[in-house]
Amino acid sequence: MPGLVDGNPDGRGGGATGTDDRSDAPHIAVLIPVKRFEHAKGRLSGLLQPAERVHLARWLAARVVAASRPHPVFVACDDDGVASWADDIGAEVLWTPGVGLNGAVDSSRETIGGKGFTHLIVAHSDLPLAVSLGDVASPGTITIVPDGRRDGTNVLASPVVAPITASYGASSYRAHLRQALSLPYRVEVRRDSRLALDVDTPGDLAHPALRTELPEWLRTILANRR
């Protein structure tokens, strides 16, 4: 019977990936919505200059793309600069102008499903510690990875055909969980300390787990301004 599992407190996933040759292994795609880099990380404006915030947003997004491999990566965007960046990094661009984050995810799910993928992982573009995102996916399962406050949804993995309406924004974790529990799928809430960390505030950049992960240029800036 479908049900809720609250699992993996050590952050290590055991889900199937697209490289698994079992007959029930899902054909996974990863979707990363990316806003215009110049508009990203506004809450860091007291710490970083505009060009530095752009550089940080690009670095974060590239980390999430790398963590998505070897699965195909799609970037939903409505900005030419982001689209060019996505092309350069080897992701497929899904152009989603004027529909906002939730509309972009919903329309991209439909497009990706039409390409033959059976499982979709939606990941935010600012997860600096993300690794092996494909491990979040599991056949017949909706997996939700909340942020550290259990308010937002940092990663959402589900069968492409699962009728989940994107509900990002305040309390998105609870909104997605309510939807998932109403559907005939196994539901897992994945407690993953690495995926729970997103970067929005100066406090996030000061997280101890990031000390050795941040690029040297950013470590230098932070050391000089604190």
- The number of angstroms, rounded, from the C-alpha of 187 to the middle of its chain's C-alpha atoms is 18
pTM of the model: 0.90
Calculate Rg over the CA atoms of the chain. Answer: 17
Q: What is the DSSP string of 40-51?
A: S-GGGTTTS-HH
**Which range, of 22-31, 189-198, 206-215, averages the lowest pLDDT?**
22-31
Q: What is the pLDDT of residues 33-75, one digit of tens each?
A: 999 999 999 999 999 999 999 999 999 999 999 999 999 999 9
CA distances 206 to 114, 212, 213, Å, are 41, 11, 11
Torsion angle, CA of 222/51/91/210, rounded to 10 degrees?
A: 10
Return the CATH number of the domain spanning residue range 4-12+21-225. Answer: 3.90.550.10
Q: What is the pLDDT of residues 127-186, one digit of tens each?
A: 999 999 999 999 999 999 999 999 999 999 999 999 999 999 999 999 999 999 999 999
Looking at residue 7, its pLDDT comes to 63
Categorize the per-residue pLDDT at 226 as very low, low, confident or very high, splitting at 50, 70 and 90: low
Omega before residue 70 within 30° of 0, cis: yes
Q: Mean pLDDT for the chain?
A: 91
Looking at residue 14, its pLDDT comes to 33
What is d(CA 178, CA 170) in angstroms, rounded to the nearest whole number?
14
Q: What percent of the chain has pLDDT over 70?
A: 89
Looking at residue 3, its pLDDT comes to 61
Categorize the per-residue pLDDT at 6 as very low, low, confident or very high, splitting at 50, 70 and 90: confident
Q: Are 64 and 124 in contact (CB under 8 A)?
A: yes
Q: What is the DSSP string of 103-162?
A: HHHHHHHHHHHHTT--EEEEE-S--TT---GGGG--TTEEEEEE-TTSSSEEEEEEETTS
Tell me which residue has tokens 């996505």. Answer: 86
| Pair of tokens at residue 199 | 């970067």
